Every structure is written in structure tokens, then in C-alpha cells.
Chains A and B, each alone.
Chain A
């Protein structure tokens, strides 16, 4: 089968007409870009792979609702963002236990002193990246996703809102809160360096 010969709309028509194999062309064409955004949101390779499969599966199941005037790449990208959001939202409980400033046994929180033992040490050990990871995990799933889309994917607030199913102002607020939290978390690096 010539998977690269047809444009996305022609492939979708073929799939909806019963040619399941035609969907393979869309999978091959869009998997890599979906993996990229999925990884940036989940920050985990295995999770990103899962997100790619889940997004393409959901895309196939919802293909009948895909409107011909839309761009399949944009459409499946938004589905992947949602899937990634669900992914990090589902494991949020595990992440949250690592980003508290104070030890709180009731809330199963621990201090991040091990992660932020001091800028000199962090610099020396090359763990600034890890510090940033920790800061990222302090964000809610929506904040993190909004920040990734804004900061790394160069999406507009309108596009972020569409991907997250929220309005542009809510998307802007999510980005604002994410940046604010990250700056607070990473201020220690700036002060001590």
C-alpha cells in the first residue's frame, strides 16, 4: 500500500469507507510529532509512547466526527495533548509527594532539600536539570501542559485553549501561574549563583 501517496483527507475518506489499513499512513506520518509533544508534557519516554498510541487510537475511534475543513495534524495533536494531560494528571499524586517545601506526614509530602541542596552542589553535580524537573512537577497538569505548549511548542493562547478545552484567557492564566511557580521554585538557583 502506498501510504505516502494520499493526503490526509483522502486517507480519512478511505478509512471511513472501510479501508482500515489506510489509517496506517496517518499513523506513520504523524507519530513522531505526536511523540515529541507527548514527551515534553509527560517528560517520560515510555509515557510518551503510550500517549502516541492512545491518541492515534482515540483519533481512529473519533474519525467519523473529524470535519473535512480541519487539519488532521492539528486535530490529532490536540488529542495527543489531552492524552498526555490525562497521563500526567493520573500520576499527579505520585509527583506531588516530591515537591513540597515542608515535610508533612499527613499529606505524604517530603522536603525537596535533597534536590535543592544548594546551587553549588547542583551545578557541580549537573543537577540543575533535575531541579527544573522538580519545579515542573510542582505544576498542575493543566499548568504544565499550558506552559509546555507556550514555551516549547510556541502555541498561541488560543491554540492552547483549544487543545486543553478551555478558553484563551484561562489558557493565558494557566501559563502565567506556571511561570510564576517555576520562577519561585527556581529562584534559589538565581540567588545562590
Chain B
């Protein structure tokens, strides 16, 4: 059995309390090494060393007082030019980005502020436009009413009377289609129905290639009467203020 060397005994003395310390098993089984270790332990434990003299509470302050005068102050560290330039550049880039973003947002806000008044003011121009529509519609209904009256009292045997009706019907048909289209986009079912009936009548009236014969006139008169078309046109016409109907653009145009 090989014995522990003095170096190993010394190492064990200082590390015996630490995890992984080696030598304990050997010392338990080897009387010679155990005796050697006991002697070492005795020698080291018997060593007495003077404890350091106690320092009072002001010791640190006194050390500092004697030391402070010998210490030059550190200069604030200068930044490396590359790092400094990098951060400076980054700062400029960030500032530019903020500036551009700010300008963009300001532009958006300005545009919005400009858009809103326009949107809000939209109804104002709509009023003249609506008045124009009413004028046109009123005029159209006037002419349609006269046509229907003439058709109602038309002499089926007189070609001279019927021919102007057909020409007027052709003229009214184009205007009626525009009015009908406008009415279709709106929310006035009565107007839409009346203009639709009027459109069929005007279409038939204007699309007779051989002219209006007595049979055709009689049929149209029958349709007009059965639909109550003249009555509808008069009712619609009555809903339009008189001032509008005569082609003025005065205020107060109502909705039909």
C-alpha cells in the first residue's frame, strides 16, 4: 500500500470539508498515514497568529483623506470616432425619419382637414344640382302632360294631328329615359313607376314606322287611361314647386 505524501496530507487538511476531497478513505484504513496526518493537524492547529489590530469606524475616511489629494480626476471617456460617428449618423437618420414621418402625418392631417369641409360642403352644390334636375323634370312632366292630353283627345281619323304627337313623343322619349334612369337610382318609387309607364307609351308612340293609325291611337289611349298615366303625371307635376317648373333656380326645391 502506498502512503499519502506530505503534500497530499496538507492538501487534505485544507480541503477535507470540501466536496470531492480525497484521502479520507486511505486515512481510515492506513494507521501510518493517520498518525502522520494527526501530527500535521496538530502542528497547523497549534500555530497561533496575531489577529489584525481592529480599525475604528473612521479608518476608511482617514485612508480616503490621505489618498484623495494624490488622485487625479478621470476625464470623461472620449468616444471612439467610429462609434461616435455611427451613433451620430444613427441619430441623424432617426431625426430625418422623424421629420419625414411628421411631415407625412401633417400632410395627411391637412389633407383630411381639407377633405372634410369639401365633404361637408357637398350638399351645398347638390342643392343647385337638385334644383336643375327638378327644373328639367318639371319641364319634362309639363311636356309629357300636354302630350298625353293631346293623345287623349286625338282624332283618330286625322293624320295631321297625329303626326306631331309622334314627333313630340320621340323628343320626349330621350328625356324620359334620362329621367327614368335618375329615378331608378333614387328612392322615389312613384316617380319611377310613372316614368316607366310613360316610357313604354312614348316608345310605342314614337316607334310606329307607318305612322299612327286609328287602331294604334285607340290602343294607346286605352293603355293611357287604364294606367291612369295622365293622372300620375299630373300628381308628380304638382309635387314640383311652381317656381321650379318654370325654369327658375330659386331656393326651396323640394324632393319629389
Contact = CB atoms under 8 A, between A and B. Distances in A.
Contacts of B55: 31-32, 35
Contacts of B87: none
Interface stretch (B41-49, B106-114, B168-176, B202-210): B41-49
Which range contains the number of B residues in contact with the other chain?
A: 20 to 34
Interface stretch (A67-75, A91-99, A171-179): A171-179
Interface in A1-28: 15-21, 23-24, 27-28
A121 interface: no
A39 B70 CA distance: 23
Contact of B43 (A32, A150, A186): A186
A32 B59 contact: yes
Nearest to B42: A190
B121 interface: no
Interface stretch (B71-79, B143-151, B213-221): B71-79
A116 interface: no
Interface string A161-173: 0000000000011
Contacts of B188: none
Contact of A43 (B47, B50, B61): B50
25 contacts: A16-B77, A20-B72, A20-B74, A23-B68, A24-B61, A27-B60, A27-B67, A29-B60, A35-B55, A35-B59, A52-B63, A53-B63, A56-B63, A60-B71, A64-B74, A129-B48, A132-B48, A151-B44, A151-B47, A179-B40, A180-B10, A182-B47, A183-B40, A183-B43, A190-B42
B68 to A, nearest CB: 7
A80 B123 CA distance: 89
B119 interface: no
B66 interface: yes
Interface of B: 6-7, 10-11, 14, 40, 42-44, 46-50, 52-53, 55, 59-61, 63-64, 66-68, 70-77
B59 A40 contact: no
Contacts of A151: 14, 44, 47
A30 B63 CA distance: 10
A190 B67 CA distance: 46
B71 A35 contact: no
Contacts of A27: 60, 63-64, 67
A53 B66 contact: yes
A20 B71 contact: yes
Given A16-B77, A151-B47, A186-B43, A45 B10 contact: no
